[in-house]
Amino acid sequence: MPAKREHWASRIGFILAAAGSAVGLGNLWKFPYITWHNNGGAFVLVYLACVAAIGLPVMMAEILLGRRTQMSPVPAFEKLGNRGWGLVGFLGVLTGFVILGYYSVIAGWSIKSFIECVGWSINGYQQPADTAFGKFLSDGPLQLLLAFIFLFGTALIVWRGVSKGIEQAAKFLMPILLLILGYLVVRVMFLPGIGQTFHFLFRPNFSELPAAGVLEALGHAFFTLSLGMGVMITYGSYMHKRESIARGAGFVVFLDTLIALLACVIMYTIIFSVPGVAESVSGSTVGMLFVTLPRLFYTELSGGVLIGPLFYVLVAFAALTSTISVLEVIVSFFIDKLGFKRSTSTVIGTAAVAVCTFLSALSLGAVGFLSGFEIFAGKSGVLSTLDHIAANYLLPVGGLLTTLFVGWFVSRKISADELGMLDESGDPTFSFKLWLFFIRFIAPMAILAVIIAVILGKDFS
Ligand code: PFF
């Protein structure tokens, strides 16, 4: 066991690292896609309600578990509960393998898009053939190379530790990410499609919201806020006692939501600004981000030579700060539970993830049986299967068990004390009672509804 637990070197360290974990492909790839398919407005409103009523309280619960125990998920659950509860932490570690296994493959595509854009910016745009993306997907060696570059970069940062690795990386990557995002938002404000974008996003019309959209919004809230697998427990365990959990969680939730909405503003405005494109945005999630947009950057936008490469730097940085957090859950498990050194833990954790990544990368057409097998209807191949399992089962179940544990098992006194929500006479404040109500009743019931919907056949991946 390490003699002393590592901590963030500064208050902003936790915030940037946690926000870095939350802001990722979920914001830039999944959210714009599901919002598009759920017809905007009303879906956005429901999503905001889910984030505020369930995402925020659950994030506070996870951080408090980590901060109180100063331990990673498995020992944290064991300390405040018992060995049985430790299995919930272990589920989080397993979820980490599953998520990192496919996420690093998709993250790798941002490297390819970046290089392609740089080439177009220098040599002029050349419209790729319609089959180009399919060919790229089934190019096994290239998929492996890109995914492993990403995984290797993630491992290098995690290897360096909490303050010297994760915090430094977040302090470098997040401001650049925000600057690029800000630049892109300002840029699209002057395009003709901006009015239609605001109309689409912020004019709710509940008759256009598919019933399942409500549950989809909640399912996505877990994914995008990195909840349900112990990331926030782990990051909370590196937080100093003097910091406010509610304030930290509030800021992370706010930033994540803002960035998801801004990603929509950027992408939709470009799409709405070009006549005919909105009708033809493909039904696939990757279509919008990796196929439609690059073409529009170069054929329809002045300044596309700058916007194209910058946009994929944004995607890559957002993904990297997320993969770092997932690997850290795995690595901190080996450190805290098995007593390994950080370096050894990083090597073992990365090697184990690499197996999943290897299978995912080859499941997009390169290797027949990895691409073709189907456990869940309509989800063929390892990558889609892992995404389906994580988003539909692992994160909601992990989230449900965490809320039940904190709400019903951990004593009110411990929770109120850790959240700093005791008044002068030592009684829980009103804010605490409100938080507890959401954790005990609202969050578990809502998550249960998602799980039941999944069992009845709904798909949130
Ligand atoms: N929150 C990340 C995103 O929105 O892309 C994905 C993610 C990271 C999910 C870490 C879960 C997790 F534990």
The residue contributing the CA closest to ligand 1 atom 11 is 226
Mutate to test the pocket of ligand 1, among 104, 154, 227, 322 (most ligand atoms within 8 A of CB): 322
Nearest C-alpha neighbor of 245 from the set 385, 63, 382: 63
Contact 260, 88 (CB under 8 A): no
461 found inside a domain: no
Q: What does the DSSP 8-state code read for residue 263?
A: H
For residue 29, which atom of ligand 1 is closest to its CA?
Answer: 5
Output the ligand 1 site: residues, CB below 6 A.
Answer: 21-22, 24-27, 99, 223-224, 226, 229, 231, 322, 325-326
Mutate to test the pocket of ligand 1, among 106, 325, 395, 460 (most ligand atoms within 8 A of CB): 325
Polymer length in residues for the chain:
461
Which of 54-63, 104-113, 288-297, 411-420 shows the lowest mean pLDDT across its residues?
A: 288-297
Residue 55 alpha carbon to ligand 1 centre in Å: 13
Residue 320 alpha carbon to ligand 1 centre in Å: 10
- State what percent of residues in the chain have pLDDT above 90: 80
1 found inside a domain: no
Residue 37 alpha carbon to ligand 1 centre in Å: 21
Q: Can you tell me the distance from the alpha carbon of 155 to that of 150, in angstroms, rounded to the nearest whole number? A: 9
160 found inside a domain: yes
293 found inside a domain: yes
pLDDT tens for 116-133 read 999 999 999 999 998 899
For residue 225, which atom of ligand 1 is closest to its CA?
Answer: 1
272 found inside a domain: yes
pLDDT of residue 275: 87
Q: What is the mean pLDDT of the chain?
A: 93
189 found inside a domain: yes
Look at the block and give the residue holding tokens 């408090």: 64
Q: Which two tokens stand for residue 81?
A: 């509960």
Higher pLDDT, 207 or 320: 320
5 found inside a domain: no
For residue 329, which atom of ligand 1 is closest to its CA?
Answer: 13
CATH code at position 376 = 1.20.1740.10
pLDDT tens for 363-412 read 998 998 989 888 887 788 999 899 888 988 899 999 999 999 999 999 99
- Across 342-354, average pLDDT: 97
| Burial (CB count within 10 angstroms: exposed 0-12, middle 13-18, buried 19+), residue 207 | exposed
Q: C-alpha angle with apex 178: 175 to 181, nearest 5 degrees? A: 150
Structural domain boundaries enclosing 314: 11-455
Residue 225 alpha carbon to ligand 1 centre in Å: 6
For residue 22, which atom of ligand 1 is closest to its CA?
Answer: 1
Q: Can you tell me the distance from the alpha carbon of 398 to that of 347, in angstroms, rounded to the nearest whole number? A: 26
Nearest C-alpha neighbor of 198 from the set 262, 280, 255: 262
Look at the block and give the residue holding tokens 């696939």: 284
Nearest C-alpha neighbor of 221 from the set 34, 17, 388, 456: 34
Report DSSP letters for 216-256, one per residue.
Answer: HHHHHHHHHTT-SSSHHHHHHTTS-TTS-HHHHHHHHHHHH
Report DSSP letters for 288-340, one per residue.
Answer: IIIIIHHHHHHHH-TTHHHHHHHHHHHHHHHHHHHHHHHHHHHHHHHHHHH--
Split into its structural domains, the chain has a count of 1
355 found inside a domain: yes
Q: Can you tell me the distance from the alpha carbon of 402 to that of 111, in angstroms, rounded to the nearest whole number? A: 35
pLDDT of residue 1: 47
Residue 24 alpha carbon to ligand 1 centre in Å: 6
pLDDT tens for 194-226 read 999 999 999 999 998 887 888 889 889 999 999
Q: pLDDT grade, residue 283 (50/70/90)?
A: low
55: left (phi over 0), alpha (psi -120 to 50) or beta: alpha
Q: Can you tell me the distance from the alpha carbon of 40 to that of 34, in angstroms, rounded to the nearest whole number? A: 9
Q: C-alpha angle with apex 199: 194 to 205, nearest 5 degrees? A: 160
Q: pLDDT grade, residue 3 (50/70/90)?
A: low
Residue 221 alpha carbon to ligand 1 centre in Å: 10
